[in-house]
Amino acid sequence: MKKTFLILFFTLAYTASNAQKDFQGMAVYESKTSMSDFKARFEGNKNITPDMQKMMEERMKKMFEKTFVLNFDKSASIYKEEEKLESPQSQGGMGIRMMGSFTGGGGTFYKNVKDKTYVVDKEFMGKEFLVKDSLATLNWKMEAETRVIGGYTCYKATAVKAASKTDFRNFRPRKEGEVKKEADQPSEGKKTNFMDAVEMPKEITIAAWYTPEIPVNQGPEGYWGLPGLILEINDGKTTILCSKVVLNPKDKAEIKPSTKGKVVSQKEYDETVIKKMEEFREMNQGRGGGMEIRINR
């Protein structure tokens, strides 16, 4: 009897261990960044026709409204934009493509919460990079608010973090009178490079909604560190909301980091992007390029 009990005990323990090991989930997220302040800032600009404005809004919508899929297990996850076929005509000019390369999309974001590391492959200006670094640890503050998302009871947590200088979603239009202008341009219809018309905040406040009903230390993008899957993130002007969760899907995903690209740290990658942005700004200064805007006074 004792022998039978021990066999049953070890069988159940082995089964539970394998169940934990094989556990996997999939979550779909819809990411949307509000560009209303930019639209309001340049509405009424005589140099932008209704057709031009409509085209700009359509392109910005494609840049700032995206769908992502998060595949996760107990210790690691991969977060990747859902692939969509686009015609060459819809891709826009160089400036649009350049901005689109750092608006949260592109590449596979792998994070291992056990090792507290992440790996993300990025393509920038025709070059492939493999960014490897340590996960940022946010000082989460647990709030009393609760809400239901997709049938799961979620709890709110907030944190403050430094704004990424290479994430276009964090840019803000400068206030009236603060936009840098070329001295050699006439006062009426002065030309201003796009990068001179925006600024980056030093820090942004994050609001997360997580559910302990899915007890994994995971979330979209680089977010983690809460006692449950993060189903929604309000990151400055960007909202990332989970629209679907599947636990233990029939088809398991391969959760491992990418290996393609030049290995760099996050700091090295940011420095490369910032340098190229400055070069691009100087190249387009005073020209009628795709990144230039005209501000009437």
- The two tokens of residue 137 are 């640890």
Rounded CA-CA distance 246/244 in Å is: 7
Q: Is residue 4 part of a domain?
A: no
Q: Is residue 7 part of a domain?
A: no
Give pLDDT, residue 42: 56
Q: Where are the beta strands (DSSP E) in the chain?
A: 25-33, 65-72, 76-81, 108-112, 117-124, 127-134, 141-149, 152-162, 172-173, 190-193, 198-199, 203-211, 229-235, 238-247, 262-264, 292-295
pTM: 0.75
Residue range 87-137, pLDDT digits in tens? 544 444 444 444 545 444 568 999 999 999 999 999 888 889 999 999 999
Rounded CA-CA distance 291/233 in Å is: 30
Domain residues for the domain of 87 are 23-295
Give pLDDT, residue 107: 82
Q: Which residues pair with 204 in a beta bridge?
A: 161
Q: Is residue 192 part of a domain?
A: yes
The letter for the amino acid at 187 is S
Listed as ranges, residues in the chain with pLDDT below 50 are: 1-19, 88-98, 100, 102-104, 181-191, 288-297
Total count of domains within the chain: 1
Give pLDDT, residue 154: 98
Q: Is residue 258 part of a domain?
A: yes
- For residue 221, the SS3 value is coil
Tokens 């190229």 — which residue?
276
Q: Is residue 18 part of a domain?
A: no
Q: Is residue 8 part of a domain?
A: no
What Cα–Cα distance (Å) separates residue 221 from each residue in 48, 109, 190, 272?
A: 35, 7, 39, 21
Give pLDDT, residue 195: 55
Q: Is residue 207 part of a domain?
A: yes
The letter for the amino acid at 184 is D
Give pLDDT, residue 16: 39
Q: Is residue 154 part of a domain?
A: yes
